[in-house]
Structure 1
């Protein structure tokens, strides 16, 4: 699986946590196995939906190490690097390579208003300090609304020119179809993913690789069906309504609330501070909106 094509529906997994805010390994494993059984190609742990910026590098590596020890197929893992610290990014990338993960989803260094040259320098240093020990593929994570930085066409071209096939793909979480299509056209050597269900069908019809997103946490089977049948307007309409419901109720905490409801497991609703779980009233409103789309049971 380690050499398998980067394509399909990649679930940006939520991270179950315990009452004392530790990663709940058993629930994470059970959830990941369920997502793969529902047709997801890969699991992306510890990204935005996985609250990756709220856990330490050591916690995330320890969790993935334990998942491997318990028999999880690491060649179907695409964990995120969510840190502005070069040392932490290096440590993460080396661990992901050592564990046999398929690729790493890498956020640009946030906090400082870095120039494109500065972001390129960060990737230069990250690759220089790891390439003798791992050649794991890198997938760029374009989410400027949170990272404050955009992977522009010139910046991507610069990284490919310097690092070639190490830059294997990009996740575009802008929700901008035109930007996704530009990426497909400009960089045919990259696997281009969207983070938005509503962009998925057109992107796939135009050569995109698929999606890396949070909605498969609850709707994996439907999104696999949409990936396989990108002209299915009925599925697209339902998913558009569902993503609107989730986004208006807190995004990842809404996904956790929906999972807690449909799996009958309140532990799944717990979020890492500073995020807070939905109230009972908020969850009821969310579930009502989801069920208005015809959804009744976990996918």
Structure 2
């Protein structure tokens, strides 16, 4: 069942870089082992946290191939393919090797701020072109526009659209989706700290940034939530409340890469226009640790 495939914790993987900003495949191997050993349920490749906007098409293909080979079907893989030019997105889908990919995560069009009808028509074209199921991704803080609950429910009727990563931070909107969606349409949290509240009214889990650095603890929290053991889950959630804002203070994945360096997984290097965490941010992250 597709519901079970994406239940629990998906980790939005970072892309490790060497000190000269080449893709660090040793670091990527360590990250994959670190997260899989921690018990995450699936991996999300080439998302915002993976710095998809500053990796080349050739790098994306090589990263995808490397991850497929190393993971070897141990967990489902989701691949990020989105943009604000519908034609380019459908061409990218056609040009990507999606064998072994369980679903595509596609962000709502950014920057050009389309109407709700424009968002709807964009996703219909993407879903029609995609040979694997599509998960919508609503993140107004990055795209500059919100996909309303009404638009999400319209899109949920499409045979090849199976769910949404909801990162609007608007719990009323999330509840409206939960109330009106088809039973098999997946509501997935896109905000780490809102995961437990969203599970209470119908979310099946999360696509997480923090799970890069805390795979075991974060996935255990989500699992407890899905088992309705909210007292135990909330105790774990409280440990993340103070450190979570630091992950985004200077841009994602700047903060989480500091954590991964501290845990010996990969360097904190990011590509411009992002820059490595300031000394002050690193110090506050260390204090939280």
Q: Please, what TM-score do these two structures have when normalized by structure 2?
A: 0.87
1:63 aligns with 63
Match of 1:138 among 130, 134, 140: 134
Q: Which moved more, 1:5-14 or 1:276-285?
A: 276-285
1:226 aligns with 2:221: yes
CA distance in 1, matches of 2:142, 2:104: 19
Report if aligned partners of 1:47, 1:82 keep a CA contact under 8 Å in 2: no
1:7 aligns with 2:3: no
2:239 aligns with 238
Cα deviation digits, residues 140-199 of structure 1 (max 9, x gap): 1110110112221221233233x23x1111111122333322222221331111122321
- For the residue of structure 1 that corresponds to 2:192, the secondary structure is coil
Match of 2:163 among 149, 166, 169: 169
5 Å-filtered alignment, 1:89-128, equals 89-94=89-94, 98-128=98-128
1:207 aligns with 2:220: no
1:84 aligns with 84
CA distance in 1, matches of 2:46, 2:5: 21
CA distance in 2, matches of 1:175, 1:14: 22
- For the residue of structure 2 that corresponds to 1:269, the secondary structure is coil
CA distance in 1, matches of 2:80, 2:74: 14
Gaps of 5+ in 2: none
1:283 aligns with 2:273: no
CA distance in 2, matches of 1:28, 1:220: 15
Q: Select the structure with the greater relative contact order (CA < 8 A; seq sep ≥ 6).
A: 2
- Offset of residue 241 of structure 1: 1.9
2:271 aligns with 272
CA distance in 1, matches of 2:103, 2:96: 8
1:153 aligns with 2:131: no
2:184 aligns with 189
- Offset of residue 107 of structure 1: 0.6
Pairwise CA RMSD of aligned residues?
Answer: 2.4
CA distance in 2, matches of 1:190, 1:97: 25
* Cα distance, 1:104–1:261 mapped onto 2, change above 3 Å: same
* Cα distance, 1:95–1:4 mapped onto 2, change above 3 Å: farther
1:198 aligns with 2:193: yes
Gaps of 5+ in 1: 292-299
Count of matched residue pairs = 282
- Offset of residue 208 of structure 1: 1.1
* Cα distance, 1:96–1:211 mapped onto 2, change above 3 Å: farther
- Offset of residue 64 of structure 1: 0.4
Q: Please, what TM-score do these two structures have when normalized by structure 1?
A: 0.85
* Cα distance, 1:223–1:270 mapped onto 2, change above 3 Å: same
- Offset of residue 4 of structure 1: 5.3
CA distance in 1, matches of 2:27, 2:10: 19
2:174 aligns with 180
CA distance in 1, matches of 2:203, 2:155: 20
1:294 aligns with none
1:257 aligns with 2:258: yes
2:47 aligns with 47
